[in-house]
Amino acid sequence: MSALLQVEGLRVDIPTPMGLLHAVRDVDIALEAGETLCLVGESGCGKSLSALALMGLLPRAARRSASRFEFAGEDLQRASEGRMADLRGNRMAMIFQEPMTSLNPSWSIGNQLEEGWLRHRGGPAAAARERALHLLERVGITGAANRLGQYPHQLSGGLRQRVMIAMALMCAPALMIADEPTTALDVTVQAQILHLLKELQRESGMGLILITHDLGIVARVADRVAVMYAGEIVEQAPVEQLFRRPSHPYTRGLLECIPVPGRLAPGARLGTIPGVVSPPIGALQGCQFRNRCGYAEDACATRAFELREIGGGQRLRCRLDAAAPA
C-alpha cells in the first residue's frame, strides 16, 4: 500500500534577529488514507509550522526542505506554486484554530463555501450551492439554506468552526489537516466537532492530521501520535502504546501535568516540568530537552540523538530505553 503522505527529513528554518530559528528539524510524517495522526506539543514546538509546511503555506521568510515530500505519489518539492494552488482546498485542505480570523468577514458564508468548488471544479454555480447546502447540513447546521446568506459575525464560534469544516470538505479532500480545531470552543462543542470529524473520516476515508496540545483529544482521536518538542519529534507511537508506555521524559512529564478526574486525591499536587523551552536558534547540539530533564547526563549535551525504534512501532529520541509499561 502506498502512503497518502510520505514526508522525510522535513526542516523549516526562519531567519530572526537573534539568528536562524530551526523551527522544524528532521520530522518524518507518513500517513495512510483513513488514518489519524496527532501532532502534540506545547506552544512553539513546531507543530503548526509543520502543518503549514505540508500545505506549502509557510510565511515568506521561512525556508522549507525535505529529503522526501510526496503526496499521493506526487513529489511536491517539484510542484509549482500553481500546482500547489490546484491541490490546496481540493485534494488537501486545512482547518485553522480561530474561525473568526480565517473566515472573510465581508463575504457571505455561501460565497466562501462555494469559492473553492468553483475554482477547482468549475461548472454551474447551482451545483456548488447544492454541495454547500449538503455539507452545512452534514456538519449539523440547522436552517442551512438561511445560513448561506449570512456573514461570519452572525454565527457563534461553534457554528463558524462547522462552516470551516464544511468549507474544507467541499472538494472531498484526501488529506485534511486540522490545527487546534476545537481549542477556542466549549467542551460540549469540542466533543461534537471531533465526533463529526471522525464520522466524516470514516465515510470518506480521508487522512487526518490533527494538531493539538490536549492529550485528552489525542487519546480519543488518534491512531498514531507524534510528540514534538522544540522542533523535533521526540517520541512517536500508536496511540494505545504511547499512553501505556510513554518513554520520553517529556511525554511522561506532560502526562503527569494534566489533571484527570478521579486519578488524583483532592488537593494532591500535579506534576510539573521545570524551566522553559529554549528556542532552537543558532547551532544546536545534543538533546533540546536536557535542561528541563530529570534524567539528563553530560552526554545529552553533546550527543546527537536519532529517533530510534524501541518496539511495537514506537520510536524514541532519547538516551533512555523504553519505559516500563504504566
195 binds other proteins (CB under 8 A): yes
203 binds other proteins (CB under 8 A): no
- The position carrying cell 492529550 is 215
232 bridge partner residues:
229
146 binds other proteins (CB under 8 A): no
Q: Which stretch binds other proteins (CB under 8 A): 47-55, 58-66, 101-109, 153-161?
A: 153-161
Q: Which stretch binds other proteins (CB under 8 A): 1-9, 85-93, 125-133, 193-201?
A: 193-201
Among 14, 189, 296, 323, binds other proteins (CB under 8 A): 189
158 binds other proteins (CB under 8 A): yes
296 binds other proteins (CB under 8 A): no
DSSP designation for 217? H
Closer Cβ to other proteins, 80 or 142, answer by number: 142
Closer Cβ to other proteins, 126 or 276, answer by number: 276
Q: Which candidate, 190, 128, 133, places its Cα nearest to that of 163?
A: 133
98 binds other proteins (CB under 8 A): no
Q: Are the beta carbons of 168 and 93 closer than 8 angstroms? A: yes
Rg for the chain (alpha carbons), in Å?
Answer: 21
9 binds other proteins (CB under 8 A): no
Q: Which stretch binds other proteins (CB under 8 A): 63-71, 81-89, 169-177, 185-193?
A: 185-193
Q: Which stretch binds other proteins (CB under 8 A): 7-15, 22-30, 52-60, 214-222?
A: 214-222
Q: Are the beta carbons of 223 and 240 closer than 8 angstroms? A: no
Q: Are the beta carbons of 185 and 157 closer than 8 angstroms? A: yes
Cα 21 to Cα 14, 63, 194: the distances in Å are 5, 10, 33
Q: How far is the CB of 70 from other proteins (least distance, A)?
A: 29
The letter for the amino acid at 29 is I
How many CB atoms neighbour CB 71 within 10 A?
22
Cα 211 to Cα 99, 183, 198: the distances in Å are 15, 10, 14
What is the per-residue binding string for other proteins in 12-51, x denoting contact by CB under 8 A?
------------------------------xx--------
Closer Cβ to other proteins, 50 or 90, answer by number: 50
Q: Are the beta carbons of 247 and 325 closer than 8 angstroms? A: no
323 binds other proteins (CB under 8 A): no
DSSP string, 36-57: EEEEE--TTSSHHHHHHHHHT-
Q: Are the beta carbons of 251 and 233 closer than 8 angstroms? A: no
Q: How far is the CB of 179 from other proteins (least distance, A)?
A: 16
Binding-site ranges for other proteins (CB under 8 A): 42-43, 142, 156-159, 186-192, 194-195, 198, 213-222, 239-240, 242-243, 253-262, 264, 266-267, 269-273, 276
